[in-house]
């Protein structure tokens, strides 16, 4: 279901948080639009964290350390990259109000990014919103082959390490389906969302994230077998967290 009730020029961060907690998210008609519309899909794309499809080729790419992967290192850069036009995507739904409100939510600790670097070049990545034990994936982008797949793999590993239970991908696509995303009906999604949020939405208006999932758990090693997300041995840990090669 798409509800075209427009919010002109600026989006209120608290309104956006409450909308996500209800299963609704904003989109724009195009990059230069001055307003947004609110979307609640009848079928929701969800990636079960224990069913991420780690192909042999992707496992090999991760293990090769071809890319350097970071978290929240360049949130603004990732959002800007996601909003850029490309040959296969002449326009995007990320307009100024959406870009600005997510910058605010990032400063408040709700919005996060995964960056994939090819040398000093930002090769791809993704960004989204964390509430409770739910992560709402907003957009992912690639400028180098496999960069977006690597970003999603690292995100899934982070969410598993941090105790998250729901990865919302909004819409199913052929690309996401190849990585394990499924579609669930609206009522089933609301049940999953409610279980992931629990009572964490009670503190949304206080201006700080009252989340139970820990997006940075992977960055706090507690044993010799655990390494940081940017460490040279981290690819092994990522592969272990993602389970068996399929």
Give the pLDDT confidence score for residue 204 in this predicted structure.
55
Q: Where exactly are the structural domains of the chain?
A: 42-242
| DSSP H helices in the chain | 13-21, 56-63, 75-83, 96-107, 147-161, 174-177, 186-197, 234-242
Query: For residue 64, which of 232, 229, 226, 178 has the smallest C-alpha distance?
Result: 232
Between 56-63 and 147-161, two packed helices, what is the crossing angle to 10 degrees? 80
Mean pLDDT over residues 70-92, rounded? 86
Class of 42-242 in CATH: alpha beta
Give the pLDDT confidence score for residue 92 in this predicted structure.
82
pLDDT in tens, 119-164: 999 999 999 999 999 999 999 999 999 999 999 999 999 999 999 9
pLDDT in tens, 189-246: 999 999 999 865 555 544 444 557 999 998 876 544 443 334 433 666 777 778 644 4
Rounded to 5 degrees, what angle do the CA atoms 173, 124, 138 make? 50
**52: confidence class by pLDDT, cuts 50, 70, 90:** very high
Q: How far apart are CA 88 and CA 8, in angstroms?
A: 29
pLDDT in tens, 158-183: 999 999 999 999 999 998 999 999 99
């Amino acid at each position: 279901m798409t509800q075209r009730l427009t919010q002109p020029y600026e989006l209120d961060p608290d309104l956006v948080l409450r909308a996500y907690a209800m299963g609704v998210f904003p989109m724009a008609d195009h990059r230069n639009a001055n307003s947004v519309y609110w979307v609640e899909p009848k079928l929701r794309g969800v990636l079960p964290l224990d069913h991420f499809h780690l192909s042999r080729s992707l496992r090999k790419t991760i293990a090769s350390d071809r890319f350097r992967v970071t978290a929240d290192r360049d949130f603004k850069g990732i959002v800007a990259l996601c909003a850029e036009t490309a040959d296969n995507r002449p326009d995007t739904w990320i307009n100024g109000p959406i870009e600005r409100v997510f910058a605010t939510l990032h400063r408040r600790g709700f919005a996060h990014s995964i960056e994939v670097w090819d040398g000093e070049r930002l090769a791809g990545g993704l960004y989204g919103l964390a509430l409770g034990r739910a992560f709402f994936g907003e957009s992912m982008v690639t400028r180098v082959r496999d960069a977006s797949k690597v970003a999603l793999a690292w995100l899934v590993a982070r969410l598993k390490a941090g105790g998250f239970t729901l990865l919302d991908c909004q819409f199913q696509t052929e690309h996401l389906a190849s990585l394990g995303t499924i579609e669930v009906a609206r009522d089933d999604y609301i049940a999953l969302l409610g279980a992931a949020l629990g009572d964490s939405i009670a503190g949304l208006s206080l201006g700080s994230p009252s989340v139970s999932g820990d997006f940075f758990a992977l960055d706090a090693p507690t044993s010799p077998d655990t390494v940081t997300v940017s460490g040279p041995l981290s690819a092994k840990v990522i592969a272990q967290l993602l389970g068996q090669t399929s």
